[in-house]
A and B are shown apart, each in its own frame.
Chain A
Amino acid sequence: DIQMTQSPSTLSASVGDRVTITCRASQSITDLLAWYQQKSKKAPKLLIYDASTLEGGVPSRFSGSGSGTEFTLTISSLQPDDFATYYCQQYNTASTFGQGTKVEIK
């Protein structure tokens, strides 16, 4: 199975900050990676797929990059609505989620 490792597990930031979350795969997954946002008790929301393609309706402050084994999700200017938990997901071989990164208010 492909393992996905996210870092950090928790991130404290302020509104307006630039935030970066990293996801590493245990083997190459080319660009078959998605990012999701989840707020408490709700189903996850797709933000980015194929590593860097923004899902429709998602604000442009979200961006994704990377290929192979290392990927990043960047929020260019953190907004109050962005405090949530973020997950990466590989879908190159079956599927695996990262363990999540909680973005909390500093």
Chain B
Amino acid sequence: QVQLVQSGAEVKKPGASVKVSCKASNYPFTSYGISWVRQAPGQGLEWMGWMATYDGNAKYAQKFQGRVTMTTDTSTTTAYMELRSLTSDDTAVYYCARDMKFAEAYQYWGQGTLVTVSS
């Protein structure tokens, strides 16, 4: 079945960067987009952006423009999300999610990666 397996938890200092990976399997990787969604402790879901895996085109939420980069490696069917200039407000669980063939709703999700930003 479709799987999205994310990299492990990270602890970062303020000002640092973090790069989270999302390994996809059991489906044609370049046929579906990958999005990133985060959830701060006790808070709701926040959309960060989306990437077309077939050509690398990305669109980011305005809030993260200039601070986030989403990439893919089609040879390893892995998507990446890098967030720079971290602050304590970036402490959250970060999810990757795969959209559907004809709708940008998220049918499959990774297990989540906890990123903690603390001095």
A residues lining the B interface (CB < 8 Å):
1, 32, 34, 36, 38, 43-44, 46, 49-50, 55, 87, 89, 91, 94-100
Contact = CB atoms under 8 A, between A and B. Distances in A.
Judged by DSSP, the binding face of B is strand
Interface residues of B, number: 22
Judged by DSSP, the binding face of A is loop
B106 A34 contact: yes
B32 interface: no
Contacts of A89: 45, 47, 105-106
A91 B95 contact: no
B111 interface: yes
Given A43-B110, A43-B111, A95-B35, A32 B103 contact: yes
A91 B44 contact: no
